[in-house]
Structure 1
Amino acid sequence: MPDVEPGPSARQVELLEAAYAYALANGLADLSLRPLATAIGSSPRVLMFLWGSKDGLIRALLRRAREDELTFLSRLDPADGGAPDAGSPDGGAPQDLAGAVELVWSWLAAAEHRPLLRLWAEAYARSLVEPGGPWAGFARTTVDDWLADLAARQPASERDAPDGAARRTLALAVLRGALLDLLATDDEPRVTAAVALQVSLLRAPR
C-alpha cells in the first residue's frame, strides 16, 4: 500500500487561519515572522518548523487566499447550480457573459471583501516583478481561474466563436481594471456605473 502523506495538524490549520487573518489586515509586502508570531500566539521557530521558511509561509497564505477566490467562483458554477440570481430564468447562475460580469462585480464591490481584494492586488503585482519568489505564478494562475469561469458562463455558440476568447478576456479586463480603480479611489458608484455600461455593451446585438 502506498504511503499517504499526513495532512496538516489541527494546530497548523489554526495557525494558518490566524496568519491569514493577520495578512488580510496587514498585507504581505513587509511581513516579518516575529510580529506575526506574536500576534497569533506562536513563535518564529514554530512557524519556520511548520512551513520551512518565510517564503514557504507566504506560499501557504497565497494558496489560502486562492481558496477563498475559488470558493466564490464555485458558487457561480453552472454545473453546481450556481448562486441564486434574479436575472436567470431558473434562479441559477447567469448563463451569459454579461450576467456573469454583473454578479462578479456585485461581489467585488462589496465593502467587506476589500481586505481580500487588497491582498489579491498586492500578490498579483508582486508576482509580476518577483517571478522567482514565493509569488511566482500567482498572477497567471488567477487569470486562468477567472477566464475558465467566464468561459463557463458563455453559451457554447459564443464560447467557441472566433471572438469568444477575446470577449471573455475583455470582460476580465473590465472587472480587473474596475477593481483596481475601486481599491485606489473607493468611488464605488462611479466604478459600478462604468461596469454597468460595459455590461450593456456586452448585451448589445452582435
Structure 2
Amino acid sequence: MATTKPAPSARETELLEAAYAYSLTHGLADLSLRPLAAAIGSSPRVLLFLFGSKDGLIRALLARARSDELDLLQKITSQYDVPPGLEVVATELWTWLAAEERRPLMKLWVEAYGRSLVAPDGPWTDFARSTVDDWLDLLKSVQAEPEGADAQARRTGVLAILRGGLLDLLATGDTDRTTAAIQQYLAD
C-alpha cells in the first residue's frame, strides 16, 4: 500500500523558506544543522523531526530551488499562444539568469548541479539530469519545428551556451561580455 507524505505544516513551510534563504547565502555543501537552526530560529532536533534527516532537508531545499526554476519556465512559456522560437525564449532566459538579484540562486544551482555529478548518491541524486530534462523540455516546447535531430541539436546547443555563459558570468561577474557572447550565438 503506497503512502503519501502529508502536506507540510505551516511551521515546516516557514522553516523551509527560512532555510532556503539561508542556503542562498551560505550554500549547501558544508551545511551544518546547528548554525542553520540558530540562524532561522529553530533547533537541529526540530529540523530533523520535520525533514527526517540532514539529507531530507537538503532534498527539500533542492526541490524548493527547482520550483523557482520551474516557475520561471512556466511563466515564459505561458505568455505565448504560438511557439516563439528558441532565440526569443533563450534571450528571455538569459535576461532572467543574468540578473544580479538571481546570483545567489544561480550559485546554489551550480553547487547542486556539480554535487549531483560528483556525489550522485544521497540528496543530490538526479538533480543535474532533472534540470537538463526540464530545460530541454521547455526549449522543445517553444521551437516552431521541434522534431528531428537538427532541432534536438539546436536546443542542446542553446542549453549549453546558456549554462556556459552562466558559469562564466558567475566566475567573472562580466555581464556585458557574457551577454554579448550569448546574443552572438543566438543570432547565428
Classify 1:34/1:93 alpha carbon distance in 2 versus 1 (closer, same or farther; 3 Å).
farther
**Is 1:26 the counterpart of 2:26 in the alignment?**
yes
Deviation at 1:94, TM superposition (A): 6.2
TM-aligned CA distance change 1:96 to 1:145, over 3 Å:
same
Q: Deviations over 1:80-129 (max 9, x none)?
A: 335xxxxxxxxx78611111111110111110000000000000000000
For residues 48 and 167 of structure 1, do their structure 2 counterparts lie closer, same or farther at Cα, with a shift above 3 Å needed?
same
- Amino acid corresponding to residue 81 of structure 1 in structure 2: Q
- Counterpart in 2 of 1:86? none
| CA distance in 1: counterparts of 2:85 and 2:141, whole angstroms | 9
Tell me which of 99, 102, 105 is aligned to 2:94.
Answer: 105
Whether the 8 Å contact between 2:83 and 2:141 is mirrored in structure 1 is no
Q: Give, in whole Å, the separation in 2 of the partners of 1:113 and 1:94.
A: 26
Contact 1:81–1:93 (CA under 8 A) maintained in structure 2: no
- Deviation of 1:160 (Å): 1.0
Based on CA coordinates, which of the two structures has the bigger radius of gyration? Answer: 1
Residue in structure 1 matched with residue 79 of structure 2 by the alignment: 81
Decide whether the 8 Å contact of 1:118 with 1:183 is kept in 2: yes
Match of 1:10 in 2: 10
Q: Distance in 2 between matches of 1:131 and 1:114?
A: 24
Q: CA deviation at 1:133?
A: 1.7
| Secondary structure at the counterpart of residue 159 of structure 1 | coil
Runs of 4+ in 1 over 3 A off after TM superposition: 2-5
Shift of 1:68: 0.3
2:136 is aligned with 1:147: yes
Letter in 2 for 1:16: L
User: Is the 2:116–2:125 contact (alpha carbons within 8 Å) kept by the matching residues of 1?
Assistant: yes
Instruction: With the length of structure 2 as denominator, give the TM-score of the two structures.
Output: 0.95
* Structure possessing the higher relative contact order (Cα contacts under 8 Å, 6 or more residues apart): 2
Partner residue of 2:53?
53
- Aligned runs of 1:148-163 on 2, under 5 Å? 148-155=137-144, 158-163=145-150
Q: Which residue of 1 aligns with 2:108?
A: 119
Structure 2 gap ranges (5+): none
CA contact (8 A) 1:127 1:138 kept: yes
Q: Note the aligned Cα RMSD (angstroms).
A: 1.6
Equivalent residue runs for 1:194-205 within 5 Å: 194-201=181-188
Counterpart residue identity of residue 136, structure 2: L
Q: How far did 1:6 drift?
A: 2.7
- Looking at structure 2, the residues matched to 144 and 4 of structure 1 have their Cα atoms a distance apart, in angstroms, of 25
Distance of 1:63 and 1:47 partners within structure 2: 16
Q: Residue 67 of structure 2 corresponds to which residue in structure 1?
A: 67
Q: Higher helix fraction: Structure 1 or Structure 2? A: 2
